[in-house]
Structure 1
Amino acid sequence: MTVIDFTAFIGRLATASGETILPFFRTSLSIDNKSASDFDPVTEADRAAEAVMRRLIKANFPQHGIVGEEFGNERENAEYVWVLDPIDGTKSFIAGFPIWGTLIALLHKGTPVFGMMHQPYIGERFSGDSGSAHYSGPSGERRLTVRRCASLKEATSFTTSPLLMNATDREIFGRVENAVKLSRYGGDCYSYCMLAAGHLDLVVETELKPYDIAALIPIVTGAGGVVTNWEGAPAQSGGRIVAAGDARVHEATLKLLNG
């Protein structure tokens, strides 16, 4: 199985999940809360899309593992493992905003080797294999490249919400927020794709799960960016994440976060 074949199959997963999700978007949805202490919504669209992708993977690659947000892990120690988040940005999804996407990652021996973010309502796909990254959508197709940014004082930064951080991390994040030119909230997976496309410079997050970040790492690194945890280690396990388009911004951010 070549990378090209995997790429085509990931396209099939994206198409199938998108066709499953779209009939639910901007309708009267039944919403369940997965958290006993907070609001962590899940909808029938999340579950149906992941189920469709799991069926396709098992039919075509029964020896592969699967890690998914809604239905747990199977064979997670296999050589090849698929990491699925059917709707990253469910809170935006249930509010009718199109700032969400389906995240599909392929891990080889624990390392993300291919990732895709698919937004079926807008018709956009962002994909990467760490060596390159690409966009496909209404405006055509193009290669993704991060933009240069020499310092934090010139940087535009995004986080989904500082309210998702614990009190200590929120205070630490404030150091970064005070240093950048512009700080904005929202975006979920779209922030990383906009970073890869060269429209912003920094994303700082906490409390991420592997399925929140695995697909986005090859997209950002394929576009020339850097993704690590706050300690500078590999990010595919989730946790506290820093993604930057320019290594200088990444280094400066780590210094503030660990200062």
Structure 2
Amino acid sequence: MARQKIILFSDLHIDRWDWERTERFQEFLRFVELEAAEVFILGDIFDFPALRGENIWPKHRDLINAIRRLPKKGVSLTYIIGNHDVSLRGIEIEQKRFTMTYRDRRRPFLKTVFGQELYMEHGHDYDPLFQSSIYDAVDFLKAVTGKAVDVMTLDFLKDLKRLMQDRPTKKDAGLPLKHEEAEVGVPERFLKIWESAAEQILKRMRCNIVFFGHTHAPGITRMESKGQYYVNTGDWYTHSTFVEMTPKTLKLRDWLTDAQLDKIKF
């Protein structure tokens, strides 16, 4: 029987995980391999601001390989870059069953699934605190345009290439960029901002479902217009939530607790 489930999740922040959470996520990926036809990751696999110059590849080799193995197992994978891995912005990858792209409200990601028009982005664009954070996006964009390219930038680009290609080299690559520790998630008092943004998108784009990550607050909001919803995928830092979509239902689930948090019937 053909796999029909669509899986969405976001905000892994794997640089902050302990051994147990890594093992349980590997279990989740095995479930995805067996059940899913397509996967959408809505940003923040990594946590570049928290790295403090540590190497990505040695610590997370098995986990990254497991994610990148999904297309080889017949599972289409789309990765939408978030703000904690915003240094990836500027890299667009389009391979068989694997897409990596940066999207926001100026360049949205739209996909029709099971007759439902879906809108997806990470969601940091609406965060009133995001503009005050310091990231490497500006330096990275200078690098890809050929300006101010230095040795550290070249090493960084080589590291990204090893991480994202099908066959990374065996040699461990360093990430020489240092960052201050950054908080993740959004204070509860700000969550209405994303609900309002989703409502405006649903009206403007006339789509059925808006998906955001970023807030780390999993939930389904039913809008006044029938058949329109805002869904937040939550996170794998304090939760272990994901969205499971079939032709007849959309479920918000938590992997570690085996709980169904909410459900929509189409």
Tell me the TM-score normalised to structure 1 length. Answer: 0.28
Structure having the higher strand fraction is 1
Tell me the TM-score normalised to structure 2 length. Answer: 0.28
The structure with higher relative contact order (CA 8 Å, sep 6+) is 2
